[in-house]
Amino acid sequence: MDKQEIFNSSVNTKFFGLLGSPLGQSAAPFMHNSVYQKLGIDALYVPLELSMDQLEPVVTNLENFHYAGSGVTMPFKTQVHKYLDGLADSARFTEVVNTIVFENGKKIGHNTDGTGFVLSLQKQLGLEIPDHNYLILGAGGAGTAIACALAMEGAKDIKSLCIAKDYFCAETLFDRVDRHFPFVCTIGEMTEKSIAAALEKYDVIIHATKVGMYPKVDEILFDPDLLKPHHIVADVVYVPVETKLLREAAARGCRTLSGLWMNTYQAAEQMRLWLGIEPPMEYMYNHSLEYLKSQGKA
């Protein structure tokens, strides 16, 4: 974010924060601020990198420092709900929050990650959600939010695989989803064998871990030769825009979806919640892509 943007702010500027750590890879401030500038909106999206022990006092005092809302990213998505006054349906089922909205003096948690991902499947690939089954690799905040959003849109069969050390936390998160959407989601331990078996059954493959994220761009979670042309492969990672997984999947005839589309749709949902605007989707995607290219991270 250009320091000049801060100097150009006024008493009428609406400030929105991004709570997380680290924030060096995030394209969110650039995406939001470029849209505000294009539409002539007096608003500024500010990255606020903080530690876990700073989370509660920062969230508690956001309004006191004239913030009108905030985004939330790792590692706080599963923790911040404890410091809010309520949760919207998008976050209530999982207690995973990536967006804070101030409503009538109360801090309400939303989740636009899951909503944004489902919209990207529908709008970019034309998927009818109930017509497919879904394998989610990774059961953290993003994976759980995606599972919940898919279930809310009518998905009937969702399988999530996670590494052994995360299994207990993942099981807790998915239990919350199961309470509201029984018999839709199952969870298992992620191994070479379990991935191979799941790929035989599921047609939409959703990668929701950090594997392959910049700077470790040559990493991939599983043997891509397990993929078949009927698979649809989506990655939540958007730095780089085309991960090794997506390249390998495309080479095997799979349809693919970059995490940059999910990030674009979820950011648009945040803008609708905060400002009531209809954001320019293609502009957001293309402008973010150019930004990542300029940083050598596309």
Q: At a CB cut-off of 8 Å and minimum separation 6, what does 115 contact? A: 90, 149, 265, 266, 269
User: pLDDT grade, residue 173 (50/70/90)?
Assistant: confident
* Residue 77 is a catalytic residue: yes
- Nearest CA-CA partner of 212 in 242, 167, 176: 242
Domains and CATH numbers, the chain: 3-111+261-294 (3.40.50.10860), 114-257 (3.40.50.720)
Q: What pLDDT is recorded for position 166?
A: 81
Q: What pLDDT is recorded for position 259?
A: 97
**Of the candidate ranges 34-48, 161-175, 272-286, the one whose mean pLDDT is the lowest:** 161-175
Of 46 and 169, the structure prediction assigns the larger pLDDT to 46
b vs e for 95-107, b when ≥16 Cβ sit within 10 Å of the residue's Cβ?
A: bbbbbbbbeeeeb
Torsion, Cα of 262, 265, 267, 271 (10° steps): -170
- Nearest CA-CA partner of 237 in 213, 221, 268, 261: 213
- Nearest CA-CA partner of 20 in 96, 75, 82: 75
Report whether 114 belongs to an annotated binding site: no
User: What number is the average pLDDT over the span 207-222?
Assistant: 96
Q: What pLDDT is recorded for position 297?
A: 85
The whole-chain average pLDDT of the chain stands at 93
Is residue 7 predicted with pLDDT exceeding 60?
no
Of 196 and 167, the structure prediction assigns the larger pLDDT to 196
Report whether 122 belongs to an annotated binding site: no
Which one is catalytic: 3, 14, 38, 77? 77
Report whether 64 belongs to an annotated binding site: no
Is residue 204 predicted with pLDDT exceeding 90?
yes
Report whether 86 belongs to an annotated binding site: no
Percent of the chain with pLDDT over 90: 82
Cα separation of 194 and 172, whole Å? 20
Cα separation of 212 and 145, whole Å? 21
Identify the DSSP state of 212.
T
Report whether 140 belongs to an annotated binding site: yes
User: pLDDT grade, residue 235 (50/70/90)?
Assistant: very high
User: What number is the average pLDDT over the span 89-103?
Assistant: 93
Cα separation of 90 and 79, whole Å? 16
